[in-house]
């Protein structure tokens, strides 16, 4: 997968977490996903479609990092994940996709974005396009991890 298609998602996630939650993350080594298991407890999933590309994106959060983001963005602590935390995952997914869409548009790539779906629960699965590689981008923050999974077919 072309790095020009991946970097907009990296930049958008780091921009959202820094501007909205004052969190600085470090990106780890990208890898190709094997299987459908998510590496966290809740994922935002969104379809990415255009006339020449189709794909999907998921953003998966570990519990501790999501609770930290919730407190920093909304100004109140949350003891355990609830519907308001899941809604926040949807909003973050929208913001990251919107930022990536803007950056991709500057490269001449236009995408339509669907409404994100929320998939939750320990051991949940995130299924992308059949037989297409999925790039996993791990991000480490002080309180936990976020994983972006991108699957694009040109």
pLDDT digits over 6-33, tens only?
889 899 999 999 999 999 999 999 999 9
pLDDT at 3 over 90: no
- What domain range is 34 assigned to? 3-153
Q: Which of 3, 152, 150, 146 is nearest to 63 (CA)?
A: 146
Q: Domain total for the chain? A: 1
**Average pLDDT rounded to a whole number, residues 50-55:** 77
pLDDT at 44 over 80: yes
Determine the Cα–Cα distance for residues 101 and 116; give it in Å rounded to an integer.
14
Categorize the per-residue pLDDT at 154 as very low, low, confident or very high, splitting at 50, 70 and 90.
Answer: low
- Strands 54-61 and 135-141, by their bridges, are unpaired
**Average pLDDT rounded to a whole number, residues 79-91:** 96
Mean pLDDT of the chain: 91
CA distances from 147 to 77, 96, 135 (A): 23, 12, 10
**Average pLDDT rounded to a whole number, residues 51-75:** 92
pTM for this entry: 0.92
pLDDT digits over 121-145, tens only?
998 999 987 778 899 999 999 999 9
**Average pLDDT rounded to a whole number, residues 91-118:** 88
Convert 54-91 to b/e letters by CB count within 10 Å (16 or more is b).
bbbbbbbbbbebbbbbbeebeeeebeebeeebeebbbe
Categorize the per-residue pLDDT at 108 as very low, low, confident or very high, splitting at 50, 70 and 90.
Answer: confident
Task: Return the residue matching tokens 């996709």.
Answer: 97
pLDDT at 114 over 90: no
Q: What is the CATH number of the domain that holds 65?
A: 3.40.1550.10
Determine the Cα–Cα distance for residues 29 and 4; give it in Å rounded to an integer.
16
Angle at 12 between CA 8 and CA 17, to 5 degrees: 155
């Amino acid at each position: 997968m072309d790095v020009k298609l991946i970097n907009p998602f990296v930049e958008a996630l780091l921009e959202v977490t820094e501007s909205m939650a004052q969190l600085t993350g470090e990106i780890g080594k990208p890898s190709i996903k094997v299987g459908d298991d998510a590496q966290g407890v809740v994922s935002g999933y969104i379809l990415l479609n255009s006339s020449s590309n189709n794909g999907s994106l998921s953003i998966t959060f570990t519990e501790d990092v999501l609770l930290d983001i919730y407190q920093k963005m909304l100004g109140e602590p949350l003891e355990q994940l609830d519907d308001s935390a899941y809604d926040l995952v949807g909003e973050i997914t929208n913001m990251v996709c919107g930022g990536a869409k803007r950056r991709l548009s500057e490269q001449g790539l236009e995408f339509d974005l669907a409404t994100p779906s929320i998939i939750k629960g320990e051991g949940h699965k995130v299924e992308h396009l059949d037989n297409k590689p999925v790039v996993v981008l791990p991000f480490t923050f002080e309180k936990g991890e976020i994983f972006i999974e991108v699957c694009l077919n040109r």
